[in-house]
Structure 1
Amino acid sequence: MNLADKGQQLAKKGIIAQFITSLVLIVIVFCVNPDHTVAVVIGSITFIIPHSFFAYWTFRYAGATKSRIVAQSFNQGLKIKLVLTTVFFAIAFSQLNTAPFPVFGAYVVAMLSQWFAMVWLSRKS
C-alpha cells in the first residue's frame, strides 16, 4: 500500500467535482448567454488543468523517509501551478479576447467547488 494513495484518491475526487461543477456552469451559461460560453470554458480550464497538475506533482511521493522529496515536490508543484495559471490567463486575455468577468467567475467557481468537495469528502471519510 502506497502512503500517497489516500491523498491521490481525494485529489482525484476533488478534480472530478471541479470538472462536473464546471460542466454544469458551462451548460447554464450556454443556455443563458451563449456569447460568454468560451470565456467560461477558458476560466474553468485555467483552474482545473494547473490544479490537476499540482495534485499529481504533489502526491507522487509519501512517507517519512521521503519527507525532503515530498516538500520539494509540493514547492515545485506550486510554482508550476502558478506559471500554468499565468499562461492560461495571458492566453485568455491576449489571444482569445475574452470578457474578464466570465473568465474570473468560472475560475472562482471551479476553485470553490474544489474547496467544498475537499471539506465534504474529508467529513465523509
Structure 2
Amino acid sequence: MQTDLAASGKSLAIKGIAVQLVLSATMIIICALIWPYYVSSVALGVISFVLPHCIFAFWIFRHAGASKNQQVVRSLSQGMKLKLALTSLIFIVAFSVFTAHPLFLLGAYAIVTVSQWLAMFWFNQH
C-alpha cells in the first residue's frame, strides 16, 4: 500500500490556485467595466503571477516521499528559479511589447500574490 505523502500539499495548492483564478477573473471583469483601457494591463499582471505559480506548484509536487528527499529539494530549487525567470519574462514582454500601465499591472500582481498568501493561511486554519 502506497500513501501519497504530498496529497495534503497538492490539495492546498489546488485550492490556492482556484482562489487565484476566481479572484483574477473577478478583477478582470471589474476592470473591464470601470477602466476598459487598462484590462490588458490587469490581465498581464494576473498572468504574471498565476501562470508561473501554477508551473511552480506542478514542478515541486513531481516527487514526494522520504526516499526521494534529494529530488524534492532539487525540484523546489528548480521550481523557484523557473518561477522567477518566467515572471521576469512576462514582465519584460508586458512592458516592452504591450506597453502595460505599471500601476494596474503591478497592482493586479500584488493583489493576486497577497490573495494566495491569505488563501494558504485560511485553508491551513480550516
TM-score interval for Structure 1 and Structure 2 normalised by the shorter chain: over 0.9
Secondary structure in structure 1 of the residue aligned to 2:42? helix
Q: Return the match for 2:79 from 68, 77, 80.
A: 77
Which runs of 5 or more residues in structure 1 are unaligned? none
Deviation string, structure 1 residues 43-91 (Cα, Å, up to 9, x no partner): 0000000011001111111222111110000000000001100110000
C-alpha displacement of 1:27 = 1.1
Report sequence identity in percent: 41
Secondary structure in structure 1 of the residue aligned to 2:12? helix
Give structure 1 regions of 4+ aligned residues with deviation exceeding 6 angstroms: none
User: How many Å separate the matches in 2 of 1:7 and 1:109?
Assistant: 23
Partner in structure 2 of residue 39 of structure 1: 41
C-alpha displacement of 1:6 = 1.2
Partner in structure 1 of residue 103 of structure 2: 101
C-alpha displacement of 1:2 = 1.2
The equivalences for 1:51-90 within 5 A come to 51-90=53-92
The one-letter amino acid of 1:66's match is K
**Contact 1:18–1:113 (CA under 8 A) maintained in structure 2:** yes
TM-score, scaled to structure 1: 0.96
Which runs of 5 or more residues in structure 2 are unaligned? none
User: How many Å separate the matches in 2 of 1:18 and 1:30?
Assistant: 18
C-alpha displacement of 1:32 = 1.1
User: How many Å separate the matches in 2 of 1:95 and 1:51?
Assistant: 22
Q: Between Structure 1 and Structure 2, how many residues are aligned?
A: 124
